[in-house]
Structure 1
Amino acid sequence: MGFLDKIKQSFGTGKLKKEQTDRLQESLSTAILDGKLADKELYYINSFFADSALSIEDFQKLKSGVFVQVVQKAIADKRVTDQEKESIFTIARQLDVLPECVEWARQQIQYYSLFYYIESGGTLPIGTPQNLILQKGENCNLCIPAILLEERVVSRQYSGGSQGISIPIVKGIRYSVGKQRGSMQSISGIVPVSEGYFIITNKRLVFSGNKKSTSTAFNKLIDLQLFNDGLKYSSTSRQKPFIVRFTKVEESEMCGLIISRLLND
């Protein structure tokens, strides 16, 4: 009777699978602490699986779980270097993780690797804008789905009216005190006014929408504030600020990085 057979006999299949899963996971996690998986380490892990009671599905889930940890560790600081990016996809190939896991990883790191590239002095991305004709010498550096918001009156209500007190002076004459006429009050709120694309070019900020579009040249920009889900900016040619909301948190930081580069270069 072999070694694994003796363990099965002693602990039972259920407990054996759990112990083997824990051991494999620990081995994998330890092996890739340095961001890479040596051939010798991979051979040991695959050999251990071949002699275990784990199914292919169990092993695949285990490898995918460890791979997710690798990606999460790499994006923890919201920046992914070229070396980290290469390491992630090398490990994905070595572990033969599922295609959906690889695609998930690609989506997770796409912004953070671009953040690192831009901050390191890399060339700003150039693409094709949606629903915008570029001017001569103008390049589109970013075009993302967005919603234009504005402060508008959302409701009105009547308030402030008072009957006051009526005091008799002489017969047929009364004196009213404290009577006030009511007034209409407006309640404002930030509401969506148009859906479309927020576009950053080397000359201006543009919102190209289905109901409303705006364009602000950089030399007319006087203020810009970044938020987790969007940004607000003001122009010398408009009294109210523009408010734009994005669909992803990372897009706000991306806008900040690109605008900063364009204003300071």
Structure 2
Amino acid sequence: MAKCKYCGESAGFFSRSHKECEEKHTRGIDGMTHLMRRYFSGTISAIDFGAKLSRNRDPYFLSEDDIVTCADNVIGEFADSLRRPFNSDILPKIKGFISNVGVPYATLNKNGTLDRLSLKLFQGYVVDFFAKGVPLSQISISTDSVTSVLPLSRQQRDEAYYNVLNKAADKFMADGWLADNEQRMIESYTSSLGIALNCLPLQYQTESLSRIGQAIVLKDLQQGALPKKPLTVPVMLARDEAPLWVYDNITMLQEKITREYVGGSRGMSYRICKGLTYRTGSFKGHPVERSFMETIGIGQLVITNKNLFFHCPTASVKIPYKKLVGVTPYSDGLEVHKEEAKPKRTVFQGFDAWFIMNVLNQVNI
């Protein structure tokens, strides 16, 4: 006979549980969820919460997985309910919950619900820099308090910082103009966190954020200054050369010309013997050139105050501004024409060309 998966007693030949045990377990799940909600709403203390949780686990056949499922749902609800400014008792309440549930942190966070809660708190405190002007040194104290209870990886924290920066960029650029005080806030934020707007990771290169970074670079150029934060680029620069911007995932194409000799002939062939033919007549031909755009590679396009550099695993190309005789901007790239004996079209594809066009107008070529 099969045994009941809840009480362990015989359940008959064709059943895995007693009906009354199943119903009791369902009531236990509902009761545990209600208990956790009461705790987060503040109607029950941490001590009473821990005592009731321990007292009701066995009688209602609640496994660790059951506890985790209930906690996952309630923590998610709690995270969704949070609004800035956060109350000072939030972190002690979360800490008390984790302690009393009695489940390892990694198990409780198996679906990432604690990470989601942590990121919401972390980002909420960081937002205060732009929303209230709270110094980043003070914000750091608050975010450290969050991660001491709800740990986040370095990547997750960076993602939170970038998300806040992107939201600020969208807000600042909503009117199409970056005010001086907004620029100072962006520069202070990025400088404190070591973020370079002109060399952002690809996943954080939003349109608003890129436009802000480019606008700052162009303002500096107008005043005869170069970017304050040096960039690490994969090319060799001259002593008086400074990188202004780096584009990732750019395709370089270059015109390639092929030549072939084509023509026709006329006349007659005479068979002299087996395997030998004599032909009379004439042949007239002429060379024909054909061109096509060949993909050189996909890599980084580095914009400096003196040159364009393209670098990929298979090629590295330098185009001095002084050698340019023409530039054609496209909606998704740029075509450059160089001064050379046999000029070939060169196209860079995968970005908006407005920034480079403005750079060329500002730099002293």
**TM-score of the two chains, using structure 2 as the length reference:** 0.38
Higher RCO (C-alpha under 8 Å, 6+ residues apart): 1
